[in-house]
Structure 1
Amino acid sequence: MTLCYDIWQPSVNSKMKLVISCCLVVLVLSTFLSTVQYVAAESLSPPTDAQITMKIDKSRYDRGDIMIVSGAVKSVVGNIPLTLQILDPDNNLVHIEQILVAADGRFSLPIRIDGPMWRMPGDYTLVVQYGFKHVSAIAHFQFEQASTSITSSFNVKDLSSGQNFDLNYTITGGQVKSMVIDTSDISLVVQIDSTNSGMLHLQVPRLLLDAKKPGNADESFLVFVDDNEITSFHEGTSDYGYRYLDIPITNGDSRVEIIGTVVVPEFENISSLILVLAVGLVTVFTILSKTRMNIKLNNL
């Protein structure tokens, strides 16, 4: 019995060593394969650090306001666009837009807070995303329903020329009291009564007021609110006859001045021409009358 046990014992140890060795080999292979897969996945995945910054100019907006979004992308890749999305308090999409960033990664654009999707007040979320989902930034802001907008037109008369122009406007957060042309400052002065933050939208006829560079290219207006120059106004796409301006106003603002380079002409030359023509017609009429009188006298 002892002999048999001694003979069988080495055999059992060998089998156990074999099983243990196989387990170790499997474990090593599994670890190796997992490491290879992880490295491969890392090499195929995009960079994990969110290389983007973004900010907005205010924390609260009313209907009709212009939001200025700006920021920078650290690593620019080809022509990949930057996507901007705005979500309402229920995470419904109310605005989406794509732009290309500059060569140095910077971006800036205005977004008009308006449209049928802007229904409820509350906390809104702005998400900007560049390429991969994790290369993104988020900002929160409050949207509040402003007072009802007023759309009308104001008859602007230039006292020096006597001309009249109908200037269309829309205002939220207040009302327009008067509009006059100041030819000495080459400007349009709008008196308002603002009771809340809002927006003054003006459709300015070019014949009334314009701003031009040398060569007749459009120049930006200078805009002052209560004698303080502002740069947050936005000019829409102008056409042959009009310039379109969106000027933000706040509670208590009373005077908006838009300064250009060309104001309504006084028509001095035309008045002189009319005077010359009138004198000429009187002279011709006098000559013809005398001629007829002489003819009558000769016939007698």
Structure 2
Amino acid sequence: MTITESAALATPHRRPLRRTYLMCEPSHFTVDYRINPWMHPSEPTDTALALEQWRSLRQVFLSLGHQVELIEPAAGLPDMVYAANGGFTLGGVAYSARFAHAERADEGPLYASWFADNGFEVADATEINEGEGDFLLVGDVILAGHGFRSSTRSHDEVAQVFGREVVALELVDPRFYHLDTAIAVLDPVTPASGEANIAYLPGAFSDASRRILEERYPDAILVSDEDAVWLGLNSISDGYNVVIASRATGFEAQLRARGYNPIGVDLSELLKGGGGVKCCTLELRR
């Protein structure tokens, strides 16, 4: 069965929605500095393999009927492939990124320029944030991560820019330094059924933030550390098809039990930089 055929067989409760994504080819991918626990500059990287894996991911999105737009990669910015960190878009407005580490600082203006050139109104951030890495839209609410990369002051800025409720969640495990490594949004819009629409790793959050998640999403999928360490939660869902790390087999089984269609991909080379499916994918909401 092809991916397209599987999408057509969605259950009445799970319907795929066409999405538009921004991606950046990893033409300059390598690991020559360390700004997260996954990165080890002493270990070799294979740019050709990273390109092959990235192109396979892009093809999965296209096969599912999604639109993929591209930003030109820049030499000297090996992490630019992780497009999710380039900003956060909603209703034709793009909130720009201001990176926590100097090694990635030049990515922010490049993404902001792309947004402006492609029809978005750009809201220039004054506070440190790493875009959709730490801002996740769940229905009408924006979940916002802090603890490692994005400032809590950026949460206030996002609330002002978009006029949405912003829920702050504190990350405490350095392996899961962005919110999108610890939470997967399974339904891009609020499901009419009222069913759970996120999955998360409880241990990635402070006690207070875990209580917030338990209260707001009592039926959420709780993912194991064994699946999270492959960045299994760093996934992309269209409401039915969920593109995940192929090694996150336990999460795959949990998704199938809830009526989703998990599609595993291998991004093992890009994992060396601390990124997965979602990290490579920024949703464009015009």
Compute the TM-score of the two structures, normalised by the length of structure 1: 0.21
The structure whose Rg is larger is 1
Give the structure with the higher percent helix: 2
Compute the TM-score of the two structures, normalised by the length of structure 2: 0.22
- Higher RCO by CA contacts (8 Å cutoff, separation 6 or greater): 2
